């Protein structure tokens, strides 16, 4: 093999295009790209210059009878740009050029304005002549051409953008570089144009931070193989500058990255894990999250970044929170824990309460108090119970009330111990206590995904099993997606992320239209118990799509028929069944999802905590199981007024504080389900529909 003397790069435009081809076409394209990296001058490769392109460096390479790979080659760079059928590939190259932006210095793929068909907003024929309305003013009338250049707008497009109305601009965003579209979308949303900080001129424009988000250098065939193996996951390869900053930054304490759904928090966690493994040969890394399916998904994606050889090493452990606790408990105490089920704990509490003969406390309150206070904080004495914080708890128990109820909880501990059982929080607690006393810790670095669902026992354990050096703890999560845990103070447990907390604002997963609609379910600023803020204002999506569909039906039969029709439409539009998810509030509504999928001629795959893949079928499940998943098309159905928010939860509420908590978590749950969608979202219910539909600005 000859020595490579030029940089071999792959563009995100190629990986996106690759994902739109059939499996057979993808295979042919990948073989061509492998051959190009091995030796671009090999005689078997058939290069043809794109004569009609404005850029003389664009060439096509034949993959098979009809598929062509578009490359851009110069003396210093060999760039894989695009792939498609012959005519479409040539059209793509004829409409583009690669240049260095005159103001930012970043390499860009620029769509040539004069080669783009006129962009127009559709006009629909009216039966009655409408009254004339004043013309909509240009969206960017207060900006100048220099302002647009500052945020990376190509010179070709300045006039169009300055003249664009809001509707017209959304069409233009698909034709300009992502950094320009993001800055201008944020300006349209907030009125603030964030100009990037000056970047020291790079010798190579491909090394500019904005260029690195769309062009990646691939040094060897294994790295190329990983980049091409997972086109659906291409966003994990190319980092936005804001993500790269958090990945590469050295912290002097615990750090956290947050952001709304789809902003790439998991991507940052994965890249930080990969970077730690690469930079520290002695690292022992734990990558953890709240469930086994999500841990399996993290392992799959990390393998894509690091390769099988790195994943095979003992330097990385990928386990859910409870899996880590069980493993370390067994290692520390020589036997596996016999973890009590919720039913066994509830029975022990009822038995203890009956024996104590204490009046004034319902079984429901006692179970909740045990789960959220006593067991969560591992309260062992009455003095500790008097002092424990009660954030999010509706009952403000005084000292005398706590003294009355305390014997019930001590008796509960005794009953469980007599049966040889241990609660899961106590497993966490015992592990934390054991390793807090050890000098040698199991891990040098811990990276947590979905950190908003950490509870007190889990966080205490994580702090005890890592060596505590600066930057050893890193969290990724979104307070707006907290659905499992009551709020508590991290700082009270010694985990202080103040000054080391970052909010991502570029959404990669969800279209602009879906994100803009669903974001209305949550406040713009979300705060944790320590006062740290997640400011969600100015979040933008990197691609456009269709408006979400929100529908209300007279009865469930009509809804099932409509959902089935929607599923069939998605499949007819090229979306695979395995890329479609249908979610409901609880198991009671699953029959409606099941009926809709069946009526569409599909066999549903019912999700559970044990399901690890979608098996090529339409997935159905509860909103809780939607967490952490992604689909190209999502239907959130059976959102009736007595279903969402959960009437069952509302009926047992005893005061306004708890009612507020129920509504907050129900909103979060609805938000989680809707934001699993990338391109298409369908939301429906039976009249009267959920009151949350008003937040989606649905007009009945």
Q: pLDDT digits over 655-688, tens only?
A: 566 677 778 888 889 999 999 999 999 999 999 9
Cis peptide before 645 (omega within 30 of 0): yes
Residue 170's pLDDT is what? 77
CA gap 689, 670 in Å, rounded: 13
Cα dihedral 619→623→626→631 (10° resolution): 60
Q: Can you give the pLDDT at residue 121? A: 43
Question: Which CATH fold topology does 239-334+428-507 show?
Answer: Rossmann fold (3.40.50)
Residue 1: predicted pLDDT:
41
What does the block give as tokens for 102? 């005159």
Question: 255: helix, coil or strand?
Answer: strand
Q: DSSP H helical segments within 388-451, as ranges?
A: 399-418, 424-436
120 C-beta neighbours (distance < 10 Å), count: 8
* Residue located via tokens 């995904």: 449
List the CATH code of the domain at 7-105+204-217: 3.30.2310.20
pLDDT means over runs of 10, the chain (700 residues): 66 88 88 84 83 92 94 89 96 93 92 67 46 74 93 92 84 86 83 80 80 80 66 60 88 91 88 90 92 85 73 80 96 95 94 86 86 88 82 59 90 94 95 94 95 91 93 89 74 89 85 88 80 77 85 96 97 92 94 96 81 72 86 95 85 64 85 92 95 74
Query: CA geometry: angle at 445 spanning 439 and 451, to 5°?
Result: 120
Identify the CA nearest to 263 among candidates 246, 288, 280, 284: 246
Residue 565 C-alpha from the chain's centroid: 28
- Per-residue model confidence (pLDDT) at position 127: 47
CATH 3.40.630.40 fits 546-696, yes or no: no
- The token duo for 189 is 């949303």
Describe the crossing of helices 424-436 and 321-333 by its angle, rounded to 10 degrees: 60
Whole-angstrom Cα distance, residue 303 to residue 312? 9
Q: Give residue for tokens 């059939």.
A: 22
3 state DSSP class of 380: coil
Quick one: pLDDT at residue 700? 39
Separation CA 693–CA 637 (nearest Å): 12
Query: What pLDDT shows up at residue 202?
Result: 60
The pLDDT of residue 545 is 82
* Consecutive H or E run containing 582: strand 580-584
**What Cα–Cα distance (Å) separates residue 438 from each residue in 145, 332, 434, 435, 484?**
62, 11, 7, 5, 31
Give the count of alpha carbons within 13 A of 209, CB side only. Answer: 15
For 104-147, write each residue's pLDDT tens digit. 999 999 998 875 655 544 444 444 455 566 677 888 999 999 99
Question: Regarding beta strands 549-553 and 580-584, do their DSSP bridges make them parallel or antiparallel, or are they unpaired?
Answer: unpaired
């Amino acid at each position: 093999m000859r020595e490579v003397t030029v940089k071999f790069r792959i563009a995100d435009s190629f990986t996106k295009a690759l994902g739109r081809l059939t499996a057979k076409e993808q295979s042919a394209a990948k073989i061509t790209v492998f051959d190009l990296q091995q030796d671009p001058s090999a005689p078997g490769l058939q290069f043809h210059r794109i004569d009609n392109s404005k850029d003389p460096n664009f060439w096509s390479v034949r993959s098979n009878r009809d598929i062509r790979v578009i490359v851009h080659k110069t003396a210093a760079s060999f760039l894989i740009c695009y792939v498609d059928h012959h005519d479409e590939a040539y059209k793509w190259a004829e409409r583009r050029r690669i240049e260095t932006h005159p103001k930012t210095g970043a390499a860009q793929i620029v769509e040539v304005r004069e080669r783009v068909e006129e962009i127009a907003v559709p006009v629909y024929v009216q039966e009655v002549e409408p009254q004339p309305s004043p013309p909509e003013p240009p969206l960017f009338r207060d900006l100048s051409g220099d302002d647009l250049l500052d945020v990376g707008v190509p010179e070709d497009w300045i006039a169009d953008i300055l003249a664009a109305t809001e509707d017209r601009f959304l069409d233009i965003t698909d034709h300009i570089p992502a950094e320009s579209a993001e800055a201008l979308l944020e300006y349209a949303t907030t009125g603030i144009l964030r100009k990037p900080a000056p970047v020291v001129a790079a010798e190579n424009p491909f090394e500019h931070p904005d260029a690195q988000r769309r062009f990646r250098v691939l040094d060897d065939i294994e790295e190329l193989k990983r980049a091409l193996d997972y086109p659906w996951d291409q966003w994990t390869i190319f980092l936005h500058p804001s993500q790269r900053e958090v990945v590469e930054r050295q912290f002097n304490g615990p750090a956290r990255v947050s952001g709304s759904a789809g902003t790439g928090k998991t991507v940052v966690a994965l890249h930080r894990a990969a970077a730690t493994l690469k930079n520290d040969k002695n690292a022992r890394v734990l990558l953890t999250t709240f469930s086994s399916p999500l841990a399996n998904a993290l392992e799959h994606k990390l393998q894509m970044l690091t390769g099988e050889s790195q994943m095979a090493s003992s330097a990385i452990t990928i386990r859910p929170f409870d899996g880590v606790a069980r493993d370390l408990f067994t290692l520390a105490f020589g036997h596996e824990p016999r973890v009590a089920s919720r039913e066994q704990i509830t029975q022990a509490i009822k038995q203890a309460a009956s024996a104590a003969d204490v009046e004034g406390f319902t079984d429901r309150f006692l179970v909740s108090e045990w789960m959220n206070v006593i067991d969560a904080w591992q309260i062992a004495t009455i003095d500790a119970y008097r002092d424990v914080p009660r954030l999010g708890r509706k009952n403000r128990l005084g000292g005398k009330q706590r003294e009355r109820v305390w014997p019930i909880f001590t008796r509960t501990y005794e009953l469980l111990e007599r049966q040889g059982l241990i609660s899961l929080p106590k497993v966490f607690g015992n592990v934390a206590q054991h390793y807090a006393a050890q000098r040698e810790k199991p891990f040098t670095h811990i990276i947590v995904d979905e950190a908003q669902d950490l509870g007190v026992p889990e966080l205490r354990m994580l702090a005890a099993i890592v060596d505590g050096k600066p930057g050893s703890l890193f969290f990724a999560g979104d307070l707006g997606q907290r659905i499992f845990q009551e709020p508590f103070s991290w700082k009270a447990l010694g985990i202080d992320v103040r000054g080391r907390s970052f909010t991502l604002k570029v959404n990669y997963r969800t279209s602009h239209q879906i994100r803009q609609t669903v974001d209305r379910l949550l406040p713009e600023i979300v705060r944790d118990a320590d006062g740290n803020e997640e400011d969600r204002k100015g979040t933008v999506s990197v691609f456009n799509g269709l408006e979400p569909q929100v529908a209300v039906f007279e009865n469930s039969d009509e809804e099932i028929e409509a959902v089935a029709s929607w599923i069939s439409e998605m499949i007819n539009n090229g979306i695979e069944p395995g890329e479609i998810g249908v979610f409901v509030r609880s198991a009671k509504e699953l029959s409606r999802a099941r009926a809709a999928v069946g009526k569409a001629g599909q066999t549903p795959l019912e999700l559970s905590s044990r399901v690890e893949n979608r098996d090529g079928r339409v997935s159905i499940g509860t909103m809780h199981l939607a967490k952490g998943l992604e689909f190209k098309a999502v239907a959130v159905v059976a959102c009736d007024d007595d279903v969402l928010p959960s009437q069952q939860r509302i009926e047992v509420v005893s005061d306004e504080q708890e009612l507020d908590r129920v509504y907050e978590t129900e909103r979060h749950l609805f938000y989680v389900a809707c934001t699993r969608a990338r391109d298409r979202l369908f939301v429906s219910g039976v009249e009267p529909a959920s009151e949350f539909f008003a937040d989606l600005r649905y007009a009945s």
